[in-house]
Amino acid sequence: KQEVTQIPAALSVPEGENLVLNCSFTDSAIYNLQWFRQDPGKGLTSLLLIQSSQREQTSGRLNASLDKSSGRSTLYIAASQPGDSATYLCAAPEGSNYKLTFGKGTLLTVNP
């Protein structure tokens, strides 16, 4: 059974700081991993999908990396802004079936 852990549960940083969010998973036989953002009272917005054949995926100020051998993924946010404040979740599949297991998220607050 896939288990996904996100550390830290909450993070508060000043505006402009670069930061890293961590995601670890127990079943390394994954074919991809996805990062999401969730604003309060809203649905999840897909940020990045990393295929198992990739080591990194970039979108704007976001960079996600995947290391299957160590069971870890990181989401790097460059030059953070108050608008980046949200909960960030990662999700990894359970084996080769259709089920994604989600971490409980990291609540990010970027202070002006």
Partner 1 sequence: DAGITQSPRHKVTETGTPVTLRCHQTENHRYMYWYRQDPGHGLRLIHYSYGVKDTDKGEVSDGYSVSRSKTEDFLLTLESATSSQTSVYFCAITPGHTYTGELFFGEGSRLTVL
Question: Half-sphere exposure of 40 toward its Cβ, with a 13 Å CA cutoff?
Answer: 5
> Is 91 a binder of partner 1 (CB under 8 A)?
yes
Smaller CB separation from partner 1, 9 or 79: 9
Smaller CB separation from partner 1, 32 or 85: 32
Would you say 88 and 105 are in contact if contact means Cβ atoms under 8 Å apart?
A: yes
C-alpha to C-alpha distance for 93 and 2, rounded to whole angstroms: 7
- Least distance (Å) between residue 81 CB and partner 1: 23
Stretch of 16-24, 59-67, 72-80, 92-100 contacting partner 1, by CB under 8 A? 92-100
Rg of the chain over CA atoms, in angstroms? 13
Position among 11, 13, 19, 100 found at the interface with partner 1 (CB under 8 A): 100
> Is 75 a binder of partner 1 (CB under 8 A)?
no
Position among 15, 16, 42, 67 found at the interface with partner 1 (CB under 8 A): 42
> Is 71 a binder of partner 1 (CB under 8 A)?
no
Give the start-end residues of each E strand in 3-112: 4-7, 10-14, 19-25, 32-38, 44-51, 56-59, 62-67, 72-77, 86-93, 100-102, 106-111
Position among 105, 106, 108, 110 found at the interface with partner 1 (CB under 8 A): 105
